[in-house]
Structure 1
């Protein structure tokens, strides 16, 4: 997962609250760091996304493949 995909996934799932989730929610799986802190420390965006999903009880169907743009049709 690229950082841009992480950002899209956060916006799609949390809307206007995505920024607050990113900077304010302490993630147990990340040692109490926020998503922003974990990303800044070099943790893979996919791992951070899954940690956010666990903390926020995001349903499984919303966790995988989100944030990806649709394939362009030629």
Structure 2
């Protein structure tokens, strides 16, 4: 998954304003105690980060 697709999915699910806030502020233990931005900067694959976001936030399977 490319980063552009990742961010599009984030915007589609959370809305463009909240997606950025969530990615910047929400720390998830499933990402090693990181935010989305920190995990991506640490080298996590966008696809893996999206899977964690879906799991933690209960994104419906049809949108995963």
Fold match (TM-score > 0.5): yes
Of Structure 1 and Structure 2, the greater helix share is in 2
Unaligned runs of 5+ in 1: 64-74
Unaligned runs of 5+ in 2: none
- Write out per-residue CA displacement over residues 14-72 of structure 1, whole angstroms, 9 at most, x where no aligned residue: 00200011111112211110000000011000000111111111111111xxxxxxxxx
- Give the match for residue 6 of structure 1: 6
- Give the match for residue 30 of structure 1: 31
Q: Which has the higher contact order (CA 8 A, sep 6+)?
A: 1
> Number of residues paired by the alignment?
63
In the TM superposition, what are the counterparts of 1:43-62 in structure 2 within 5 Å? Answer: 43-62=44-63
Distance 1:59 1:27 in 2: 19
The structure that has the greater radius of gyration is: 1
RMSD over equivalenced CA pairs, Å: 0.8
